[in-house]
Structure 1
């Protein structure tokens, strides 16, 4: 067990939870009501386009392709650095998606659309309805897990990768699919799922800064 990462995760979880509470009570509704006025604007169109980068159908296809390719390559040539890197990225994103889906069901938070149309705001808990799966943001946790994983493999690309992830997260508020606290929770889940997957995979040969496009050997 990595006590350093465990401590960092616990402190970040407490800080994130506190920030989520503040956003929930003092900012979420006002921000999304303001974002609702942007519908049909250029900002809304830009947000829709950015959101496509973390579309769940796209990520499902990428994960399937990644696991199949890496599995086949591992059987044929063994766990080369490239194969381990791809497996790590797929594992980080897959775990984040599983955790996110579980949390969505547990919390059952009403999406902004229900605030606009029915005045509903809050949590229903253990919900199966799409409109009650606002927390955490799935797009945000997908893009943050992928960006964090790739930035650990390619440290020089960390800033643009995480900047892009942040923009995708903001886009989910702009298109009024999520509240700011949903996005913050998604970023936390994605980031730390990738960090823990990294910690686990390092024991299997994924080393810091090792680019997955290196020649196998």
Structure 2
């Protein structure tokens, strides 16, 4: 069960269901549901991209922490041991970012996705591939990346609405939207 949660559940089972389920969120308005689903998918891609980049490019090389399965000979492994650095757990970074974003877009799923995030974190320790502090650091980074993605989405939405209002004001004032001369 722990191996299933850690390796397969999130990436091969849960993510496609959430992406597909985000298109039909139970509302009668399919267009609105599709827009919400598209925003959700884009936010998840951005959040995971930010988290993966930050973790692999900055955090892991900064600490160069050896995994417990490589450092401790008495660790009983249930999964293959990777030889990359341990601090912080990328699985936990990703699932924490996903949990924050999903809780923002679909608040009703918060208990489920947060429970899954906790179980994924526990699975990384149980499998002997991360120390508890790796999981805690991964959760912290993931939460920050998820919140950053929400912040960027809100700023982009505000900017887009401002641009739309500016365009409507200039068009309603009788001035053309473009100052380019019209070819004759």
**TM-score higher than 0.5 here?**
yes
Unaligned runs of 5+ residues in structure 2 are: 21-30, 75-81, 159-184
SS of the residue aligned with 1:131? coil
Name the structure 2 match of 1:111.
Answer: 67
Choose which of 61, 76, 100 in structure 2 pairs with 1:148.
100
Q: CA deviation at 1:85?
A: 2.5
Name the structure 2 match of 1:82.
Answer: 37
Between the aligned partners of 2:156 and 2:41, the Cα distance in structure 1 is 13
Choose which of 137, 142, 146 in structure 2 pairs with 1:185.
137
Name the structure 2 match of 1:123.
Answer: none
Residues 1:167 and 2:122 are matched in the alignment: no
Q: CA deviation at 1:166?
A: 0.6
Where in structure 1 do 4 or more consecutive aligned residues deviate above 4 Å?
Answer: none
Q: Which has the higher contact order (CA 8 A, sep 6+)?
A: 1
Are the structure 2 counterparts of residues 107 and 54 from structure 1 closer, same or farther at C-alpha, using a change threshold of 3 Å? Answer: farther
Are the structure 2 counterparts of residues 177 and 54 from structure 1 closer, same or farther at C-alpha, using a change threshold of 3 Å? Answer: farther
Whichever of the two has the greater Rg, that structure is 2
Unaligned runs of 5+ residues in structure 1 are: 1-45, 67-76, 119-129, 207-217
The TM-score, its normalising length taken from structure 1, stands at: 0.55
The TM-score, its normalising length taken from structure 2, stands at: 0.64
Q: Structure 2 matches for 1:92-111, cutoff 5 A?
A: 92-102=47-57, 103-111=59-67
RMSD: 2.9
Between the aligned partners of 1:81 and 1:153, the Cα distance in structure 2 is 8
Between the aligned partners of 1:89 and 1:111, the Cα distance in structure 2 is 27
